[in-house]
Amino acid sequence: MPLPEPASTAGELIERVAAHLPTTGRLGIAYSGGVDSATLLAIAHHVLGPERTLAIMAVSPSLASREKAMALDTAEFIGAQVIQIQTDEQAVQGYRVNDVDRCYFCKNEMFERIDEGVVDKHNLAAIAYGENADDSKRIDRPGARAATEHGVLRPLSEAGLSKADVRAVARAFQLPVADKPAAPCLASRIPHGHEVTEAKLKQIEAVELMLYQLGFSDSRVRHHGDIARIELLIHEMSRATAPEVAREIEAAATRAGFKYAVVDLRGIQSGAMTLSILNAKGTL
C-alpha cells in the first residue's frame, strides 16, 4: 500500500523540509520510530522516492521491544526500506557511568556504526536525523553534539519545524504515530550517576509493558534500586489506585525484581532528572 498523499495544508511545511534534503544520492535516516524520525522518513520518501531513502534503526537493550515493533510497523506503512544495526553502548564507559551527557555517547556510538560500514554498503550520500526546531533550543540534548561531529543533517530543524509542525505533517501523511507520546530510551529512566546495566533496562521495560497492557497511555518507570517510581499522566493517575490495578502493578514490579512500586504524584516529568542536575551546576 503506497504512502497516502499528504493533505494540502501541510504542503508548505513539506516544501521547507524538502529544501534541506540532498539534491542527489541516497539519504540514510537515523530512525527510531518516534514522530520526528517517522515524519522525516515520510517526507524523504515522498520527495526523494523509495530508491533514495533508507531508514537506519539502531537496536540495543535500551530500545524497548514494543517500541521497535511499532517503529517497524510505521516504516512499513510509509513503504520505506529499513535496516537494523546493532549498537553496543554498554561497551562505552561514558554511557555506562550515566552522567548528564549520556545521550552524547549513545548517539556517537550509533553514528560511528553508521560511518564504519553502512554508508559505503548502501551507497549513502548523507545521513539525517529527526531533530526539530524545538529540540535545537534545549540544553538537555547532548546527542546533538554527536550529530554535529559526524556531519549529520537536521532537515526538520533547519526548516524551522516545531514539534507541533511535525505532528501536523505526520497527520497529513496519516502516520500512525502522529499523536504518539515521546518515548525516550529506557536508559533515561535511570538517575544520572547510577550505572546503566542491561538488567536494569529489562526491569524497566517489563513494568512499562505491563502498564501499557493495563491501559495506561504513557508512563515512565524510574529505577531507584529496589524502588520502581512510576510516572503516569495526571488524568490517568487515579486508575493506579484502584485495588485490582494496584495489585497488578505491584505484581509486575515484584516479578521484575523491585521490592516496592510507588506512583509519583507529580506525573510524567520529561527530562526532569537531567534538568535538575544542570540547574544545580548553574548551567541553566
DSSP code string of the chain: -PPPPPPGGGHHHHHHHHTTS-SSSEEEEE--SSHHHHHHHHHHHHHH-GGGEEEEEEESTTS-HHHHHHHHHHHHHHT-EEEEEE--GGG-HHHHHT-TTHHHHHHHHHHHHIIIIIHHHTTEEEEE----TTGGG-SS-THHHHHHHTT-B-HHHHTT--HHHHHHHHHHTT-TTTTPPP---GGGGSPTTS---HHHHHHHHHHHHHHHHTT-S-EEEEEETTEEEEEE-GGGGGGGGSHHHHHHHHHHHHHHT-SEEEE-TT---TTHHHHHHHHHTT--
What's the confidence (pLDDT) of residue 271?
62
Tell me if 217 is assigned to some domain. yes
Tell me if 284 is assigned to some domain. no
Instruction: Look at residues 172, 196, 219 and tell me which one is the last residue of a structural domain.
Output: 172
For residues 255 and 131, membership in a common domain is answered with: no
For residues 75 and 214, membership in a common domain is answered with: no
Count of beta carbons in the 10 Å neighbourhood of residue 255 = 12
For residues 116 and 209, membership in a common domain is answered with: no
What's the confidence (pLDDT) of residue 270?
76
Tell me if 165 is assigned to some domain. yes
Backbone φ and ψ of 152, nearest 5°: -80, 135
For residues 166 and 202, membership in a common domain is answered with: no
For residues 193 and 141, membership in a common domain is answered with: no
Tell me if 253 is assigned to some domain. yes
Residues 228-258: pLDDT tens digits? 999 999 999 999 999 999 999 999 999 999 9
| Count of domains observed in the chain | 2
What's the confidence (pLDDT) of residue 278?
44
- Answer whether 0.85 is exceeded by the pTM: yes
For residues 48 and 134, membership in a common domain is answered with: yes
Cβ–Cβ under 8 Å, residues 192 and 273:
yes
Q: Which domain holds residue 37?
A: 8-172
Tell me if 152 is assigned to some domain. yes
CATH of the domain at 153: 3.40.50.620
The cell numbers describing 5, all together, are 498523499
What's the confidence (pLDDT) of residue 207?
98
What's the confidence (pLDDT) of residue 272?
56
Tell me if 177 is assigned to some domain. no
Say what angle helices 11-18 and 163-172 make with each other, to 10 degrees: 110
For residues 145 and 272, membership in a common domain is answered with: no
Instruction: Look at residues 138, 172, 206 and tell me which one is the last residue of a structural domain.
Output: 172
What's the confidence (pLDDT) of residue 284?
47
Tell me if 148 is assigned to some domain. yes
Residues 62-111: pLDDT tens digits? 999 999 999 999 999 999 999 999 999 999 999 999 999 999 999 999 99
The cell numbers describing 210, all together, are 505491563
Q: How far apart are CA 198 and CA 50, in angstroms?
A: 35
What's the confidence (pLDDT) of residue 139?
78
For residues 112 and 193, membership in a common domain is answered with: no
Q: What is the CA radius of gyration of the chain?
A: 19
Tell me if 181 is assigned to some domain. no
Instruction: Look at residues 144, 172, 200 and tell me which one is the last residue of a structural domain.
Output: 172
For residues 43 and 96, membership in a common domain is answered with: yes
For residues 25 and 161, membership in a common domain is answered with: yes
What's the confidence (pLDDT) of residue 273?
55
Q: How far apart are CA 255 and CA 20, in angstroms?
A: 48
Mark the ranges of the chain whose per-residue pLDDT is less than 50. Answer: 275, 278-280, 282, 284
What's the confidence (pLDDT) of residue 3?
87
